[in-house]
């Protein structure tokens, strides 16, 4: 068997962790605690678009595929890691030009992972909550032309927070059955690589628009 290294690309989910600005904060309540009940079991009350998670077409498209209807092969595959930290600004749309150095690596069934540096800013700051860089409409259309499998980003969403910036990326990607993977985390050591194998498999949540995901990268050594 080949040697390989695994890098965790997920942000933690916990009680009152950062979550989409208009949703209720994630809640964890104890239903049983070992010292009192003989075992521990918690209830987790979260929107499915919380922490590192996937968006299915149904998130923005009436009649689109729900998260359980997408086959697992779509969530595992060769990925290109695009380094934009220090290149892209807050509130800025990521353009096709920003990916020019990666163009030859991106093709049919590629997964594109966009690192803006927002993973390190995860907190309740206005910068993290509103100002993340996002996928512009033209870049989303370029991903459709390239026939990529999915697009991941480290901010809250592939779309931006401000007026007119949130919908285009979602509509263009999801209506073409390209999933979005949001609130990723990029370990420093992983960023030394331009490519990896990504696995980001959702829970089998019937009829829902997204799912929390444990995303990780595999690098062969
Ligand atoms: Zn989402």
pTM of the model as a whole: 0.97
**Predicted confidence (pLDDT) per residue in 15-65, tens digit:** 999 999 999 999 999 999 999 999 999 999 999 999 999 999 999 999 999
Distance 209 CA to ligand 1 centre (A): 8
- Of 6, 194, 2, which is closest to residue 102 (Cα–Cα)? 194
What is residue 95's predicted lDDT score, i.e. its pLDDT?
Answer: 98
Distance 49 CA to ligand 1 centre (A): 4
Distance 32 CA to ligand 1 centre (A): 31
What is residue 51's predicted lDDT score, i.e. its pLDDT?
Answer: 98
What is residue 175's predicted lDDT score, i.e. its pLDDT?
Answer: 98
Q: What is the DSSP letter of 114?
A: E
**Predicted confidence (pLDDT) per residue in 115-167, tens digit:** 999 999 999 999 999 999 999 999 999 999 999 999 999 999 999 999 999 99
What is residue 143's predicted lDDT score, i.e. its pLDDT?
Answer: 98
For residues 109-128, one letter each, b for 16 or more C-beta atoms within 10 angstroms of the residue's C-beta and e for the rest, the string is: ebbbbbbbbbbebbeeeeeb
Residue 210 has pLDDT above 80, yes or no: yes
Cβ atoms of residues 113 and 184 within 8 Å: yes
What is residue 142's predicted lDDT score, i.e. its pLDDT?
Answer: 98
What is the residue extent of each domain of the chain?
4-12+48-220
Farthest CA pair distance, the chain: 59
Distance 54 CA to ligand 1 centre (A): 6
Distance 55 CA to ligand 1 centre (A): 5
Residue % of the chain over a pLDDT of 90: 99
- Say yes or no: domain 4-12+48-220 is CATH 3.40.50.300: no
Angstrom CA distances, 157 to 35, 54, 71, 161, 178, stand at 40, 10, 22, 8, 14
**Predicted confidence (pLDDT) per residue in 64-81, tens digit:** 999 999 999 999 999 999
Residue 1 has pLDDT above 80, yes or no: no
The residue written with tokens 């779509």 in the block is 74
Distance 77 CA to ligand 1 centre (A): 20
What is residue 82's predicted lDDT score, i.e. its pLDDT?
Answer: 98
Distance 210 CA to ligand 1 centre (A): 6
Distance 100 CA to ligand 1 centre (A): 26
Computed over every residue of the chain, the mean pLDDT equals 97
Cβ atoms of residues 26 and 19 within 8 Å: yes
- Of 51, 62, 66, 57, which is closest to residue 200 (Cα–Cα)? 51
Distance 109 CA to ligand 1 centre (A): 21
H/E stretch holding 137 reads helix 137-146
Distance 147 CA to ligand 1 centre (A): 21
- Of 3, 2, 8, which is closest to residue 185 (Cα–Cα)? 8
What is residue 221's predicted lDDT score, i.e. its pLDDT?
Answer: 86
Within 10 angstroms of residue 170's Cβ, the number of other Cβ atoms is: 21
């Amino acid at each position: 068997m080949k040697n390989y290294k695994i890098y965790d690309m997920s942000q933690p989910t916990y009680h009152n962790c950062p979550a989409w600005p208009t949703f209720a904060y994630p809640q964890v309540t104890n239903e049983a605690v070992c010292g009192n009940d003989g075992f521990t079991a918690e209830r987790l009350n979260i929107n499915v678009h919380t922490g590192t998670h996937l968006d299915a077409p149904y998130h923005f498209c009436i009649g689109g595929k729900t998260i359980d209807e997408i086959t697992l092969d779509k969530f595992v595959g060769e990925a290109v890691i695009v380094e934009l930290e220090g290149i892209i600004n807050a509130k800025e749309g990521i353009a096709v030009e920003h990916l020019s150095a990666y163009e030859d690596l991106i093709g049919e069934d590629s997964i594109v992972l966009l690192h803006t540096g927002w993973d390190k800013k995860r907190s309740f700051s206005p910068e993290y909550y509103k100002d993340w860089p996002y996928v512009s409409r033209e870049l989303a259309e370029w991903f459709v032309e390239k026939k990529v499998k999915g697009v991941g980003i480290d901010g809250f969403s592939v779309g931006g927070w401000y007026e007119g910036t949130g919908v285009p990326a979602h509509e263009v990607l999801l209506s073409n059955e390209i999933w979005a993977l949001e609130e990723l985390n990029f370990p420093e050591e992983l960023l030394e690589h331009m490519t990896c194998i990504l696995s980001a498999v959702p829970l089998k949540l019937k009829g829902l628009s997204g799912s929390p995901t444990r995303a990780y990268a595999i690098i062969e050594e």
